[in-house]
Amino acid sequence: MFQAHINVEICHKGRLIKYLFKYVTKGLQSVLEDPEKAKTMLTEYFTLNRVDPEARSIPYADIPSHYTFHLRPKHWARRKQGNVIGRIVFIPPGTTDVYFLRLLLTKISGATSFEDLMTVDGYLCKDYEDACLRRGFLSDDDESQAAIGEVGQWGMPTLLRSLFVLLLLHSEVADPRKLFEDNWKLLADDLCYQTRRALDLQYFQPPPEFLRSEVLKHIETLLHAHSKELANYNLPLPVRDSGELLGNRLVCEHLNYDLCMQQRTADGIFATLNSEQIEAYHNVMESVNSGVGRFYFLYGHGGTGKTYLYNTIVAKLRSQQKIVLVVASSGIAATLLPDGSTGHSRFKIPIDIVKRGTHLAELLQRTSLIVWDEAPMTHRFCFEALSKTLCDIMDVPLAGQSYKPFGGKTILMGGDFRQILPVVAGGGREATLNASIVRSPLWTHCHLLFLHQNMRINHDVVNTKMIFSGMTFPQWVLAIGDGLAPVKCLGENAELARIEIPQYLILPPNGTSIQPIIDFVFHGLLDLYRSVSFLKNRAIVTPTNETVSAINSAVLSRIPEETKVYYSIDSLCTESTDSSDLDSLYPIEFLNSLSFNGLPEHELTLKLYAPIMLLRNIDPPAGLCNGTRLMVTHLGNNVVKGLILTGTYEGKTVAIPRIALNFSEHKWPFTMKRRQFPIRLCYAMTINKSQGQTLERAGVFLPKPVFSHGQLYVAVSRVRSAEGLRFLIHNEDGCDATCTKNVVYTELFAELSMSGNIYSFVTKILPAYPK
């Protein structure tokens, strides 16, 4: 105010200050209690109106012309002489309540109290402004409103905001606040778009309080140019730190959906659901909407429409601005889900604990549903860790009456227990079963939902043909999955029993040659090796990596293109080695010779147009996950360029760099680091890797029988019809080439019923096919 430093010196004693305060309040109480002091010219005007009928026709502003005010005692008395013009203190228009009181006093006559002033047609108004409006003393801003409406039809929001400010400045807007509240959404039309662009979230819906605050900021800036403030027009102040109103970025991303599009998708798919899908849909929706938070497992073999159902539920909930987290156990399955990711990356399992107060914790708190596809192949510890984390975040106790699995969130897991179970390194049957979700305490809370009808191949003529023992191809595939396929030779115990493969599906062996299966699967290779559709639809599957490498080399050698070899750089991880002796114990040549599942080879031999498979989830949102198949389109020195062959990102070209891959195994006292392109040829792949891939032509090569639950089922269910499937069996033990071992842990199916939430489990789960 003074534009200066001011030094204040207190130059007397404290006693004086005490005296000062005593003095100013001296006698104050008696003043307050004196009724005469409470009287003012205005209160006495009210009194006058009560007693003098003539005064009642004169407004307060004019009363001095007819009456004079006496001070002792305070009262108005009729004027006997003189001519006086009344005057009420000036108040700037349109801002405070006093202004409206003043307006009433200049116009209304006969009021006997403040309440009386505020009463219009027997109705007590909420304030003086309201009373002015009801009495029609204020213009109703119709014209200003009409002007905004008119410009709103063709003008940009920037123009509208300028117009709004012009109206405030020059058009005597009677109720600026009402004009603002009625129109701010129109004035904010572009701000929603601007916010989306700034955040790079195309469909994000900024909260209304954020947009309202942003409009106010723009209006404030415009008013400043005229040396005015929002307060001059009784307008609210913006929230200064409005970015806070936008909230958690992770949450925003999960709300970034075109609501109309989601609604249309949901309605469109819902109309086509079959009765089992509808039943499952209503179950899950009821759990989400009522907040009871059940744990469901959607059980159905391949093609029964699990993904189709997830899509319907997810779209419906997203159209209602609910958060749904969609994950799968494998990267490949995740790419088929709407904005899916892998469970491990989404929930940071098992390394990090999700801490309260973090963005991820808030996202989980606000999540309505978690969908987890291919759940049977994930270790139960992952689900148990997730359940505990959610209990912690949602403040749900881990035991007792109030315990709820997954903290009371609705969980929809899905998958097929006939497929591969969690891989436990070095573990056998019992260890694998122990790792299954079915053996988790969580399973007793599970509600099973069933899908039986194969929506993928039901109407295919080829598949209604009996291929074997009175069974169609789909029935035989399911029989393999359930461990009920017809047995050919029993062996000494169930473990050694062999099932018979229909003659129709057998390729006659030619010694130990792999030629027959290559010729079947890659028939026409020399003409078609550059064809995308040829490569994406065929592969040989086999139980072990060793065989995969042999087949890949054999097929590659037939391709008439130049060979390019990439050598990895292998080393021991320095953090993991305590002793430099390890370097001499495990020389580089030894490290180079190591070959592990999931690790690219030291000597990676490639050719142009060869099909390759990614071995790491290097960029899942861009479709680059563990299991993605590509065709090589360029072999550079530092990058390999490829065209994605399958999934949502089919046809996209990507560049893959060398990356550092760490690897350790129990039997080695070190962690190895291999710098190599994270890829491997995939004319052939292991059966485990083939889960999730759909092929038109698949060769199942069994130099040795399968060794783990679900492998044979996964191998035979890669194709849509028997036409595309052939076996080449080299049984080393001399058993004939028409039978092989089928490993199925049937006790798992019995244990499924422990969920306690199904009745006729066995009749429901086992399809009707001849035994």
Ligand X SMILES: Nc1ncnc2c1ncn2[C@@H]1O[C@H](COP(=O)(O)OP(=O)(O)OP(=O)(O)O)[C@@H](O)[C@H]1O
Q: Give the nearest distance from C-beta 658 to ligand X in angstroms.
A: 32
* 568 CA to centre of own chain: 38
Residues 721, 462 contacting (CB under 8 angstroms): yes
The two beta strands, 446-450 and 410-415, are unpaired
Q: Among residues 176, 293, 303, 647, which is the contact residue for ligand X, using CB under 6 A? A: 303
* Residue nearer to ligand X on the CB measure, 429 or 456: 456
Q: Give the nearest distance from C-beta 284 to ligand X in angstroms.
A: 15
Does residue 73 have a cis bond before it (omega within 30 degrees)?
yes
Q: Give the nearest distance from C-beta 332 to ligand X in angstroms.
A: 10
Residue 474 binds ligand X (CB under 6 A): no
Which helix or strand (DSSP H or E) is residue 431 part of? helix 429-434
* Residue nearer to ligand X on the CB measure, 186 or 273: 273
The site string for ligand X over 649-688 (x = CB under 6 A, - otherwise) reads ----------------------------------------
Residue 531 binds ligand X (CB under 6 A): no
The site string for ligand X over 558-577 (x = CB under 6 A, - otherwise) reads --------------------
Instruction: Tell me the residue number closest to ligand X, measured at CB.
Output: 305
What sign has the CA pseudo-torsion 505, 511, 516, 518? positive
Give how far Cα 638 sits from Cα of 152, 659, 676, Å: 56, 11, 10
Residue 455 binds ligand X (CB under 6 A): yes
Q: Give the nearest distance from C-beta 459 to ligand X in angstroms.
A: 10
Cα–Cα distance for residue pair 585/577, rounded to 1 Å? 12
| Two structure tokens written together for 306 | 């699990």
Of residues 349-388, which lie at the interface with ligand X (CB under 6 A)?
none
| Two structure tokens written together for 549 | 């490498």
The site string for ligand X over 221-260 (x = CB under 6 A, - otherwise) reads ----------------------------------------
* Residue nearer to ligand X on the CB measure, 183 or 307: 307
Q: Among residues 157, 302, 376, 611, which is the contact residue for ligand X, using CB under 6 A? A: 302
* Residue nearer to ligand X on the CB measure, 315 or 364: 315
Q: Give the nearest distance from C-beta 483 to ligand X in angstroms.
A: 19
- Residues 514, 518, 523: CA angle, nearest 5 degrees: 155
Q: Give the nearest distance from C-beta 303 to ligand X in angstroms.
A: 5
Q: Give the nearest distance from C-beta 272 to ligand X in angstroms.
A: 4
Q: Give the nearest distance from C-beta 565 to ligand X in angstroms.
A: 37
Binding range to ligand X, per CB under 6 A, among 150-158, 296-304, 595-603, 640-648: 296-304
Binding range to ligand X, per CB under 6 A, among 39-47, 94-102, 124-132, 302-310: 302-310
* Residue nearer to ligand X on the CB measure, 380 or 720: 720
* Residue nearer to ligand X on the CB measure, 169 or 766: 766
The count of chain residues that interact with ligand X, using the rule CB under 6 A, is 14
Residue 711 binds ligand X (CB under 6 A): no
C-alpha Rg value of the chain to the nearest Å: 40
For the packed helices 157-170 and 142-154, what is the interaxial angle rounded to 10 degrees? 160
Residue 304 binds ligand X (CB under 6 A): yes
What does the CA dihedral 655, 658, 664, 669 come to, rounded to 10 degrees?
Answer: 180
Residue 429 binds ligand X (CB under 6 A): no
Residue 307 binds ligand X (CB under 6 A): yes
Cα–Cα distance for residue pair 150/324, rounded to 1 Å? 41
- Residues 704, 421, 601: CA angle, nearest 5 degrees: 60
Of residues 262-281, which lie at the interface with ligand X (CB under 6 A)?
272-274, 277
Residue 305 binds ligand X (CB under 6 A): yes
User: Looking at beta carbons, which pairs linking 512-518 to residues 24 or more positions away fall under 8 Å?
Assistant: 512/703, 512/730, 514/550, 514/551, 514/554, 514/701, 514/728, 516/728, 517/551, 517/699, 517/701, 517/726, 517/728, 518/551, 518/554, 518/555, 518/699
Give how far Cα 698 sits from Cα of 471, 519, 529, 683, Å: 20, 12, 16, 10
| Two structure tokens written together for 120 | 């219009």
Q: Give the nearest distance from C-beta 337 to ligand X in angstroms.
A: 9
Residue 450 binds ligand X (CB under 6 A): no
Residue 504 has phi, psi (to 5 degrees) of -55, -30
Binding range to ligand X, per CB under 6 A, among 19-27, 298-306, 497-505, 668-676: 298-306
* Residue nearer to ligand X on the CB measure, 204 or 296: 296
Residue 691 binds ligand X (CB under 6 A): no
3-state secondary structure 518-562: HHHHCCCHHHHCCCHHHHHCEEEEECCHHHHHHHHHHHHCCCCCC
The site string for ligand X over 98-137 (x = CB under 6 A, - otherwise) reads ----------------------------------------
* Residue nearer to ligand X on the CB measure, 302 or 642: 302
* Residue nearer to ligand X on the CB measure, 216 or 420: 420
Q: Give the nearest distance from C-beta 766 to ligand X in angstroms.
A: 18
Q: Which of 381, 278, 379, 378 is nearest to 334 (CA)?
A: 378
Binding range to ligand X, per CB under 6 A, among 80-88, 196-204, 305-313, 337-345: 305-313
| Two structure tokens written together for 706 | 């399968």
Q: Give the nearest distance from C-beta 306 to ligand X in angstroms.
A: 3
Residues 713, 470 contacting (CB under 8 angstroms): no
* Residue nearer to ligand X on the CB measure, 118 or 714: 714
Q: Which of 700, 303, 709 is nearest to 483 (CA)?
A: 709
Residue 300 binds ligand X (CB under 6 A): yes
Residues 305, 455 contacting (CB under 8 angstroms): yes
Q: What is the largest CA-CA distance in the chain?
A: 138
Cα–Cα distance for residue pair 221/574, rounded to 1 Å? 59
Q: Give the nearest distance from C-beta 456 to ligand X in angstroms.
A: 4
- Residues 419, 423, 428: CA angle, nearest 5 degrees: 100
Q: Among residues 46, 69, 308, 403, which is the contact residue for ligand X, using CB under 6 A? A: 308
Q: Give the nearest distance from C-beta 473 to ligand X in angstroms.
A: 15
Q: Which residues bind ligand X (CB under 6 A)?
A: 272-274, 277, 300, 302-308, 455-456
